[in-house]
């Protein structure tokens, strides 16, 4: 018999406790087997006449319930709508029993309580939460293209209020224990070690007051809200959601409709409508794509980055060379996780500015919307700002983040390597320069690798760990573990110009310039990219990155791939005119008063006009195909050259690194939805443009055999 996942005990003779603890798992999930166990326990407990209460808790400290078993969800993709609705009804009716028992039910929540786990807690009469920083409550289903399907859309608005439920469910963000108490979701908040006692106290209070019975009755009916209030809430929330999702994510709006319509119905009728609505979303292209993104992230969390059993070395101190935007951002990422960090720069003025940026970033308090003095006092001792290389000698890992120039970087390495501990790792934050080239002259190339952060470091989750020809497994494993230690998502990439993300980004950026020269308007190209789902258009991205930086990266790529990297005079012309992007307040756009929103600039038209070629009309499809198909082609070359170990690294890298639209599931996932044969056909009108628009051997073979990037 399989080991039980739910253990029944009694904290006192008349108070039962169900402890959920999946054997061999780091977190509890609600699989079919667990739900069946819960049902069996309720079958027994519901018959008891001597119980005052039932407490449901986790047997895993620091985690309550992470939600439903999504692998079972995937197995049901493509099932008929009536079967999906029935699945929702079964789960909801099981949880609903927690609000129908002859005794009070209490969820004791310590740690993550999400999705189906949050719905289980909502169906309990009462909820107590620990005040641990790990404890959070949320219904994030919209991030998977769904909404709660086990009664959450009916239960939460009746407990916390319709407006609060709309915000929590359509936004998909988690809330803290204190916020949950303020909203009436949590009835008490206690220290983790006192949580069980707090749950027992709630049982005893309810045993006396019997208030839970009155609440059961109240929560079973419609919500008390006027038609005017309901209409206003629906209209304002709908407008906000459409502005945020741009029509690309249907689940939040569908959730809003279910919440608003269910408000005037009984809870039972609202649950029926919820199940029907879930059946419409489940298995949709967006749902399937977002599930793929979830599994990409889940795989990344478990990936050590290597195929051997080499273990990462402990990292207690780090050093960062270069106090510019990237260097200060990298240093702040370590300091925020309380890792002592030395930040070095030869220029005292740059060092002062960079150190100020580090402290401002780590001391920022989002509630105060500014610097928190207490946080400054806490983190300041962890920062060692220095102009001396000797101060880096104690670091376990040193990351170089100076100008993107191979000669300058090698000079830094030659100066630093001898000062480091014999087992220290030296790394570079280069975005395009091959590791083999930078490792020339190093005495310990096996302890050298790329650790490439993305700008802005505080927001971008991706880190590329680049393995050079001589980089050891231990070095790679240490870099991967260190990135995860500071909350980043690392992918391991083999050496090569541009590595992964920039190698795939450059064809997109390159083609945007070529489209401009072919007569497409800047605003039309920008609009096509954003309509596809990119967070910003390519020319805005040029301005954010900096045109001079883009030129340097482009030269590296042109040197490596001259057959498909087109050199034009556009960027040099703009740079010569002093237009470097947002940092100079002009690039492809003009930026007034340091605004991040660009405006059209007639001077740009004057500069670019002489460079334009003989033009022909370009459709929206032309713009989209020419922007994104070269990325697919370059991805096939990356796979052929074994730059990455798995196609999923390509997709995760682009989603986390450049904001490739998650609702498309990733670049290669999207390509699979089109099919290789269709992509080959889509390329035919553009093949005269040269190698960059011609199908590769891999793509042609996939078209011939019906192959896919994601193989079963």
Beta bridge partners of 400: 321, 428
Q: How far apart are CA 137 and CA 126, in angstroms?
A: 14
Q: Which of 459, 430, 435 is nearest to 446 (CA)?
A: 435
Through-space distance between the first and last CA atoms of the chain, rounded to whole angstroms: 31
Of 397, 399, 337, the C-alpha closest to 362 is: 337
DSSP 631-649: HHHHHHHHHHTTSSSSHHH
- Angle 333-372-322 from CA coordinates, rounded to 5°: 30
Cβ 105 vs Cβ 99: under 8 Å: yes
Cross-strand partners of 399: 320, 427
CA distance 134 to 113: 10
Contact 709, 674 (CB under 8 A): no
Strand partners, 466: 450, 493
Nearest-5° Cα angle at 338, 361 to 360: 15
Give me the DSSP letters along 297-336.
HHHHHH--S-SS-PPPPP---EEEE--SHHHHHHHHHHHH
Contacts of 114 (CB under 8 A, 6+ apart): 65, 66, 67, 136, 137, 138, 139, 140, 174
CB contact at 8 A, 65 and 117: yes
- DSSP-based three-state secondary structure for 401: coil
Is 77:94 a contact under the CB 8 Å cutoff?
no
Q: Where are the alpha helices (DSSP H) in 52-194?
A: 70-75, 81-96, 116-123, 152-160, 162-171, 177-182
3-state DSSP of 155-182: HHHHHHCHHHHHHHHHHCCCECHHHHHH
The two three-digit tokens of residue 273, written as one number:
């409508």
**Number of Cβ atoms within 10 Å of the Cβ of 671:** 28
Q: Report the candidate in 313, 226, 218 with the shortest Cα–Cα distance to residue 267.
A: 218
Q: Which residue has the tokens 């209460």?
A: 53
Marked catalytic residue, from 41, 133, 367, 452: 452
Q: How far apart are CA 643 and CA 467, in angstroms?
A: 10
DSSP letter for 525, please. Answer: H
Task: Answer yes or no: 452 catalytic.
Answer: yes
Give the residue numbers annotated as catalytic, written as ranges.
452
């Amino acid at each position: 018999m399989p080991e039980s996942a739910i253990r029944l005990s009694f904290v006192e003779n008349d108070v039962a406790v169900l402890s959920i603890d999946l054997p061999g798992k780091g977190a509890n999930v609600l699989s079919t087997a667990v739900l069946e166990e819960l049902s069996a326990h309720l079958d027994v407990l519901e018959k008891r006449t001597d119980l005052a209460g039932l407490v449901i808790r986790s047997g895993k400290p620091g985690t309550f319930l992470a939600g439903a078993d999504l692998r079972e969800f995937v197995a049901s993709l493509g099932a008929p709508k009536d079967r999906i609705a029935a699945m929702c009804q079964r789960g909801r009716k099981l949880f609903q029993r927690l609000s129908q028992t002859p005794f009070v039910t209490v969820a004791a929540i310590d740690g993550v309580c999400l999705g189906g786990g949050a719905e289980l807690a909502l169906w309990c009469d009462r909820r107590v939460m620990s005040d641990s920083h790990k404890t959070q409550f949320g219904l994030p289903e919209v991030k998977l293209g769904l909404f709660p399907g086990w009664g959450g859309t009916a239960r939460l608005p009746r407990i916390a209020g319709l407006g609060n439920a709309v915000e929590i469910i359509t936004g998909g963000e988690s809330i803290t224990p204190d916020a949950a108490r303020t909203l009436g979701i949590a009835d008490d908040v206690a220290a983790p070690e006192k949580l069980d006692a707090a749950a027992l106290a709630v049982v005893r209070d309810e045993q006396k007051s019997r208030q839970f019975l009155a609440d059961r009755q109240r929560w079973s009916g419609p919500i008390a809200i006027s038609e005017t209030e309901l209409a206003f809430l629906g209209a304002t929330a709908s407008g906000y959601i459409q502005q945020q999702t741009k029509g690309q994510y249907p689940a939040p709006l569908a959730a809003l409709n279910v919440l608003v319509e269910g408000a005037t119905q009984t809870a039972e009728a609202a649950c029926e409508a919820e199940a029907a609505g879930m059946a419409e979303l489940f298995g949709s292209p967006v749902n399937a794509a977002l599930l793929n993104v979830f599994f990409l992230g889940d795989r990344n969390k478990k990936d050590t980055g290597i195929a051997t059993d080499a273990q990462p070395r402990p990292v207690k101190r780090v050093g960062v060379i270069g106090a510019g935007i990237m260097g200060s951002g990298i240093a702040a990422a370590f300091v925020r996780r309380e890792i002592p960090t030395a930040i070095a720069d030869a220029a005292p003025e740059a060092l002062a500015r960079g150190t100020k940026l580090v402290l401002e970033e780590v001391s920022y308090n989002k509630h105060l919307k500014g610097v928190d003095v207490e946080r400054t006092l806490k983190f300041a001792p962890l920062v060692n700002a220095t102009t001396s290389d000797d101060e880096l000698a104690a670091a376990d890992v040193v990351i170089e983040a100076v100008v993107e120039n191979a000669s300058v970087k090698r000079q830094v390495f030659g100066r630093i390597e001898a000062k480091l501990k014999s087992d220290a790792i030296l790394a570079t934050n280069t975005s395009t320069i091959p590791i083999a080239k930078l490792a020339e002259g190093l005495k310990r190339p096996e302890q050298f690798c790329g650790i490439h952060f993305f700008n802005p470091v505080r927001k971008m989750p991706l880190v590329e760990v680049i393995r050079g020809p001589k980089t050891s497994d231990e070095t790679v494993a240490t870099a991967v573990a260190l990135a995860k230690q500071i909350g980043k998502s690392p992918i391991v990439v083999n050496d090569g110009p541009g590595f992964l993300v920039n190698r795939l980004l450059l064809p997109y950026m390159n083609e945007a310039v070529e489209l401009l020269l072919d007569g497409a308007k800047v605003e039309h190209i920008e609009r096509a990219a954003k309509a596809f789902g990119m967070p910003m258009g390519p020319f805005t991205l040029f301005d954010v990155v900096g045109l001079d930086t883009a030129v340097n990266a482009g030269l590296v790529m042109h040197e490596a791939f001259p057959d498909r990297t087109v050199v034009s005079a556009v960027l040099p012309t703009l740079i010569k005119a002093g237009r470097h992007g947002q940092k100079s307040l002009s690039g492809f756009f003009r930026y007034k008063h340091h605004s991040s929103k660009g405006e059209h600039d007639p001077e740009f038209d004057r500069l670019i006009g002489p460079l334009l070629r003989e033009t022909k009309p370009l459709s929206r499809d032309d713009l989209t195909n020419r922007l994104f198909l070269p990325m697919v082609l370059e991805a096939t070359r990356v796979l052929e050259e074994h730059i990455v170990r798995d196609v999923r690294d390509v997709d995760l890298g682009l989603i986390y690194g450049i904001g490739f639209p998650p609702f498309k599931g990733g670049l290669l996932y999207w390509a699979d939805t089109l099919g290789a044969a269709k992509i080959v056909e889509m390329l035919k009108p553009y093949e005269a443009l040269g190698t960059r628009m011609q199908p590769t051997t891999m793509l042609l073979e996939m078209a011939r055999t019906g192959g896919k990037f994601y193989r079963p």
